[in-house]
Amino acid sequence: MITSRESIGPATCGLPVRIGARWRLAKGGLSLMLGLSSLLGFLLASPAASPSLLLLVGGVVLLAGGAAALNSLQEWRQDRLLRRTMHRPLPRGELVPGQALRQAVLLIGCGLLLLSLFPGPHPVALGLLAVVLYNGVYTPLKAKTALALVPGAVCGSLPVVIGWVAGGGRPESPITALLMALLILWQLPHFWLLSLSYYDDYAAGALPHILRHLPESAMRRLLVPWVFALAVVMLLFTLLPLGVEGLFRGVIMAIAATLVPVFVLQAFPCHPPNYRKLFVFLNLVLFVFILVVCAARISLDSVAGQPSRTIVWSERL
């Protein structure tokens, strides 16, 4: 393994640059989104805002960041060949592989430690499963088959399930399937839009990818049924007895009603759409959806005025 700066490229040693490189190595934005999704799962199981939520979100963010850092270490040579990834910290020489490995081990260890403070084996077990799927299955398979997206999507849906079981939800509950469907149906269009933004990287690249088999126009049309299914799952949160009512229900219905037409219109444009804007729009829709459902659940606890099933901070520790 390469450990010297000279063997990988000139590393910039300024503190702000190093902090930024560490953040990008951990894919900080995506890790925060996954942490937010765990908050959704927890509040669906136990509608109360308590300090234990900080443990949960912190644990998931650290775990996701550690897995992302390990993924960057696994793929840094390949990342040098793609426009989308050539500016990551390892290909640019801002960090060296040894630093990435230490960061990955530290973040994964701290994330699992925080999840272990919740009762029962499920939060930690699901966290370990997510790391195994992402770094042990999805990452190696990416170089062999486009179907690597399947274990990757399952892995990406586990943080919300970690939140669900940490809040007292049963793993075998139908809500588990609903939560996983929400994240899986978001992830695939999320990845495809990112790929379309760098079409040449994937259509003619060495890695297996659906863009090597479908033209760009067909790929745009493929987005529509996935986004439609995502909108349906969002609406199910308002139809099932989950406490998403009144104004909260109206906001979610408006979100779902906006999501589908936007992607239908982009499927048959006169000119190629701005995939980056669609990517940001899709992520923003999920972000707002999670915030609205979380707010609806917290409002239930404040109205009820009853002790929640959430274990208080002192009992967690």
Say which DSSP state 161 is in: H
pLDDT for 72: 93
This prediction's pTM:
0.86
Distance CA 3, CA 95 (A): 10
Query: Which top CATH class is 17-316?
Result: mainly alpha
Considering only residues 191 and 198, tell me which one the structure prediction assigns the higher pLDDT. 191
Q: What is the pLDDT of residues 297-309, one digit of tens each?
A: 998 866 554 443 3
245 three-state secondary structure? coil
Determine the length of the chain: 317
Greater confidence, 213 or 106? 106
Residue 293, pLDDT > 90, answer yes
Structure tokens given for 193: 């839009």
Alpha helical stretches, state H, 198-245 = 199-203, 216-239
Residue 89's SS3 state is helix
pLDDT at 278 over 80: yes
Parse the chain into domains and list their residue ranges: 17-316
Q: Report the pLDDT value the prediction gives residue 169, as an integer from 0 to 100.
A: 93
Lowest mean pLDDT among 21-25, 158-162, 307-311: 307-311
pLDDT tens, residue by residue, 207-237: 777 777 788 888 888 999 999 999 999 999 9
At CB < 8 A and 24+ separation, what contacts does 83-91 make? 83/198, 83/200, 83/201, 84/194, 84/197, 84/198, 84/201, 88/24, 88/25, 89/21, 89/22, 89/24, 89/25, 90/8, 90/25, 91/9
Report yes or no: 207 and 215 within 8 Å, Cβ to Cβ.
Answer: no
User: How many other C-beta atoms lie within 10 A of the C-beta of residue 138?
Assistant: 21
